[in-house]
Amino acid sequence: MPDGMNIDYDGLIPNNVGLAQDQRVRKALETWHPGYIDWWKDMGPEGFQESLVYLRTAIGVDPKGWAKFDYVKMPEYKWGILLAPAVEGRTIPFGKHKGEPAWQEVPGEYRALLRRLIVVQGDTEPASVEQQRHLGATAPSLYDLRNLFQVNVEEGRHLWAMVYLLHKYFGTDGREEAEELLQRRSGHADTPRMLGAFNEATPDWLSFFMFTYFTDRDGKMQLEALAQSGFDPLSRTCRFMLTEEAHHMFVGDSGVQRVVERTVQAMRDAGVTDPEDRAAVRRLGVIDLPTIQKKMNLHFSLTLDLFGHEISTNAANAFNAGIKGRYREDKIEDDHQLIGATYPVLRCVNGEIVSEDVPALSALNMRLRDDYVKDCESGVVRWNRVIEKAGFSFRLKLPHVAFNRAIGEFSSIKATPAGQVIDAASWAAQARDWLPDAEDAAYIERLMVPVREAGQYASWIAPPRVGIDNKNGDFEYVQIVE
Amino acid sequence: MLEAAIKQHLIDPEVCIRCNTCEATCPVGAVTHDDNNYVVDAAKCNYCMDCIPPCPTGSIDHWFMVPRPFSLEEQFSWLELPPPPEKGEAEQADALDDEAMRLLEAAHEGAGGHARAPISAAKPRINLFNRARPAMATVTGNLRITGAETSSDVRHIILDFGAVAFPVLEGQSIGIVPPGVDARGQAQAMRLYSVASARDGERPNTNNLAITVKRVREPRADGQVFAGVASNYLADLPLGARVEVIGPFGATFLMPDDLDADILMVCTGTGSAPFRGFTERRRRLGQSGRGRLYLYFGARTPEELPYFGPLQRLPDRLIDKQLVFSRVPGQGREYVQDRMRAQAATLAELLKRDGLHIYICGVRGLEQGVDAALGEIAAAVGLDWPALRAAMRMAGRFHVETY
């Protein structure tokens, strides 16, 4: 049996990292634990802490063990520290240390760099829980309520995963960083979370689905890149997190699809033929396709900013050092050091968008973003299939990467969703056609009424095709205790 | 079973989100993809089920009985699954393993038709381990639970799976193959034992399970004693012994995951094993639902009734315990069906409830006596028992497992 497959459930903190034998780290984590529970109670899902939620908990990190479903009260969820099994003889897969044995301890020269990466990743996890904490009040069904809480508890677990690394490998600095992860608050004026998109509110369920589809997908790309890391504990942590992240992708992907499905179905039933006739569609109590497109434009562009500057020395350094690789580095066939290689980058030159070949090492953010955009396309294709099947010619489309950007090459210009550069006046005149405005927000907010009858769904969303854990349609995913 | 059909593993392209988890998980490289779909190569898939739990969507869990498997190219071209074959896959298979399937089919015969799982039951995992690839368990408990002075030696055996995940639900069975060969020099046949613990282990959050085993020792007419191979092998296991375990099996004899459901459990002897699991599960979940358990449990004497002591400690609010004895000196012989008739008013009331689930487990023939009693009780209040039983069976609310 590979080492580390077994989860120790005896202590306060379930783990497969031998905490029982590691007094120092165990004590540090047990000291951190009450603060975490306080944070969860203050900033986790509002209400529902006493409700029984049908959640998935990992009981092992091998394929057969990590999806055990049962009713759990969220504060009693087993947040543990779970690492994917160690790969014997693993070597650093890229950068200047390529081929050397993977590090089991932090290499001194990269300590600051690694700590920064872990803290930034860790900061996003509680941030999204905070952003989503009010959504329970307006869930369109018990099924969706359960999915929200599953995402929330797993984001909580991902925070634990990063905090473990900080405590285990970064001494006093790590301990302080772990404390601060509980102090910052999403959207707080004085102590905001570290990244912009994680300080935006998630005001409604369509935003939630868009967030899990687009923004959690950035998380997936970052985790994929860190899963390649030469620092083995980080790699193993991220590999296990990725299996959980797939559920978050699913919530967003299927959530948007169900909204689209309900809209086109209602349009067909009512004989509305023009998807652009928003007033007619809204009279049906569903979200019109142009508004869904606007939400996509917003969340996609906000998320692109998370990839940072297209040309980045930090990214080059992290790659060179063997700390952060490329998306699925192990599937790429090249020298894994990028010596002399170039990569095409979209840049803004004299107000125009042009493609320029730059040294591949400095274009790693761009490359990850390109992989991300390609990954985003796959869901849009399937959403459009639903629209096509219903007989409408409307198609959803990802906006151009230059659209609505605040960070990087395109932050200095204004561009249309098609990628045409325009002046500030034209932008101001048309922005409300491309991004949700107050009127859209007010309409969606009116639709956000909670549905708490098992098997029932709000007017604006279709039921899922398959239940969680293959449950039937009228399964009570959350037993609400107020 | 359709002749010459194979069971093909398919992924529903309409539900799949292309997250690559299955392909990354598959140990034999059977899952692959193109720009359109993720698909399973029928020539490579060995039904190991590793890809099932990690799939976030449920798209992975489709099984068609087909005369000829769909090729990769056909699957790549799909926008949705083809219409399912006429019949076969719609019913929940208790096992993918022929040997286990035959055993369970025989045990479920007494239900009078194909059983279905309760609608609210959790999704069982089946056939995760087989003869060629068994799970290794360690014996961490082997306790006699019948009186030492009686001839009935029933054992509560705890099997710990250590680092191996062996997920079970209450009501499922595990397969044990005793070591060695039989009289004809063939490998021993598999025996099935019901899980006697709750899904989260003998104690909450332990990776183990319990089974209830009666040591078979029967005197024969010729003066010899017949000793059951498997039961004696298990009953003699010392602590720390390693046991090969197959399964889990069973996808229908499962408890409702619904705290409002009433459950009527009728058993004799080691037929109590699944009901110990059911009861433990309900006890751990607490008393938040409206449902109650009703146990009709027959044995010759209190000393021979497995789990007699622990049963006494269960609160009446959780479970109505009707322990029935047929050989207590100085008392008349009473069987479970007699007690059921004596409690006709309670049971008639239960039969009228939509949430009632009935389970019968024990020695072959038990179901007939129970059926007759339920028929009389139903008729007395104007209920058509055969029709009600058929409807309950279709709804996953009537179950028989006898052997």
pLDDT tens-digit profile of B202-221? 988 889 999 999 999 888 88
Summarize the confidence of residues A247-271 as an average pLDDT.
96
Mark yes or no for CB contact A470/B164 under 8 Å.
no
> Contact at 8 Å (CB) between B184 and B173?
no
Mark yes or no for CB contact B58/A467 under 8 Å.
yes
- A253 CB neighbours in chain B (<8 A) are 17
- A475 CB neighbours in chain B (<8 A) are 120
pLDDT at B5: 59
- Chain centroid offset of residue A259 CA: 20
The 8-class DSSP code of residue A430 comes to H
Query: Which of B56, B58, B259 comes nearest A470 by C-beta?
Result: B58
Q: Does B113 touch chain A (CB under 8 A)?
A: no
Query: Which of A52, A67, A465 comes nearest B54 by C-beta?
Result: A67
How sure is the predictor about B132, in pLDDT bands with cuts at 50, 70 and 90?
confident
| Chain B CA closest to residue A374 | B35
Strands, sheet with B263-268, edge to edge from the N-terminal-most edge strand: B319-325, B293-299, B263-268, B357-362, B398-402
- Where is average pLDDT lowest: B127-131, B275-279, B298-302? B127-131
pLDDT at B176: 95
How sure is the predictor about A254, in pLDDT bands with cuts at 50, 70 and 90?
very high
Convert the pLDDT of each residue in B235-251 to its tens digit: 999 999 999 999 999 99
- B259 CB neighbours in chain A (<8 A) are 479
Q: Does A379 touch chain B (CB under 8 A)?
A: yes
How sure is the predictor about A243, in pLDDT bands with cuts at 50, 70 and 90?
confident
> Can you read off the two tokens belonging to residue B329?
């000196």
Mark yes or no for CB contact B56/A249 under 8 Å.
yes
Q: Does B134 touch chain A (CB under 8 A)?
A: no
Delineate the domains of chain B, giving CATH numbers in brackets.
2-87 (3.30.70.20), 135-249 (2.40.30.10), 262-402 (3.40.50.80)
Mark yes or no for CB contact A249/B19 under 8 Å.
yes
How sure is the predictor about A7, in pLDDT bands with cuts at 50, 70 and 90?
low
Convert the pLDDT of each residue in A325-366 to its tens digit: 999 998 899 999 999 999 999 999 988 999 999 999 999 999
Amino acid at A10: D
> Contact at 8 Å (CB) between A230 and A322?
yes
Mark yes or no for CB contact B123/A472 under 8 Å.
no
Which of A62-71, A193-202, B179-188, B252-261: highest mean pLDDT? B252-261
pLDDT at A6: 59
> Can you read off the two tokens belonging to residue B10?
């398919």
> Can you read off the two tokens belonging to residue A120?
């930034």
User: For testing the chain B interface, which of A55, A59, A64, A150 should be mutated: the one with the most B CBs within 10 Å?
Assistant: A64
- Where is average pLDDT lowest: A10-14, A244-248, A381-385, A411-415? A10-14
Q: How many CB pairs under 8 A join A and B?
A: 102
Query: Could you give the CA distance from residue A246 to residue B284 in angstroms, rounded to a whole number?
Result: 31
pLDDT at B1: 31
pLDDT at A411 over 90: yes
pLDDT at B274 over 50: yes
pLDDT at B355 over 50: yes
- Where is average pLDDT lowest: B120-134, B202-216, B287-301? B120-134
pLDDT at A3: 42
> Contact at 8 Å (CB) between B273 and B194?
yes
pLDDT at B99: 85
Shortest Cα distance, chain A CAs vs residue B179, angstroms: 22
pLDDT at B4: 44
pLDDT at A134: 95
Query: Could you give the CA distance from residue B362 to residue B265 in angstroms, rounded to a whole number?
Result: 11
Convert the pLDDT of each residue in B59-91 to its tens digit: 998 888 787 889 999 999 998 899 877 654 445
Q: What's the mean pLDDT when you consider all of chain B?
A: 90
pLDDT at A92 over 70: yes
**Host H or E run for residue B362:** strand B357-362
Mark yes or no for CB contact A59/B165 under 8 Å.
yes
Q: What's the mean pLDDT when you consider all of chain A?
A: 93
pLDDT at A5: 53
Give percent of chain B above pLDDT 90.
Answer: 58
ipTM: 0.84
Find tokens 């790699």 and name the residue.
A235
Shortest Cα distance, chain A CAs vs residue B57, angstroms: 6
Give percent of chain A above pLDDT 90.
Answer: 84
pLDDT at B89: 41
Residue B375, SS3?
A: helix
How sure is the predictor about B285, in pLDDT bands with cuts at 50, 70 and 90?
confident
Convert the pLDDT of each residue in A44-56 to its tens digit: 999 999 999 999 9
For B211-241, give the DSSP string.
EEEE--EEE-TTS-EEE-HHHHHHHTPPTT-
Convert the pLDDT of each residue in B145-203 to its tens digit: 998 888 899 999 999 998 888 999 999 999 999 998 888 888 899 999 999 999 999 98
For B66-131, give the DSSP string.
ESSPPPHHHHHH-SSPPPPPSSSTTSPPS-SSHHHHHHHHHHHGGGSS-----TTPPPPP--SB-S
How sure is the predictor about A463, in pLDDT bands with cuts at 50, 70 and 90?
very high
Summarize the confidence of residues B124-151 as an average pLDDT.
90
Summarize the confidence of residues A210-227 as an average pLDDT.
94
Mark yes or no for CB contact A385/B79 under 8 Å.
yes
Shortest Cα distance, chain B CAs vs residue A82, angstroms: 14
> Contact at 8 Å (CB) between B351 and B334?
no
Q: Does A432 touch chain B (CB under 8 A)?
A: no
Summarize the confidence of residues A221-236 as an average pLDDT.
96
pLDDT at A9: 66
Mark yes or no for CB contact A52/B288 under 8 Å.
yes
Evaluated on CA atoms B278, B282, B285, B289, the torsion sign reads: positive
pLDDT at B3 over 80: no
User: For testing the chain B interface, which of A76, A216, A250 should be mutated: the one with the most B CBs within 10 Å?
Assistant: A250
Query: Could you give the CA distance from residue B225 to residue B219 in angstroms, rounded to a whole number?
Result: 4
Q: Does A331 touch chain B (CB under 8 A)?
A: no
- A209 CB neighbours in chain B (<8 A) are none
pLDDT at B91: 56
pLDDT at A413 over 50: yes
- B12 CB neighbours in chain A (<8 A) are 465-466
- A378 CB neighbours in chain B (<8 A) are 17-18
Q: Does A443 touch chain B (CB under 8 A)?
A: no
Convert the pLDDT of each residue in B11-66 to its tens digit: 999 899 988 889 988 989 999 999 889 999 998 888 888 898 889 898 998 888 78
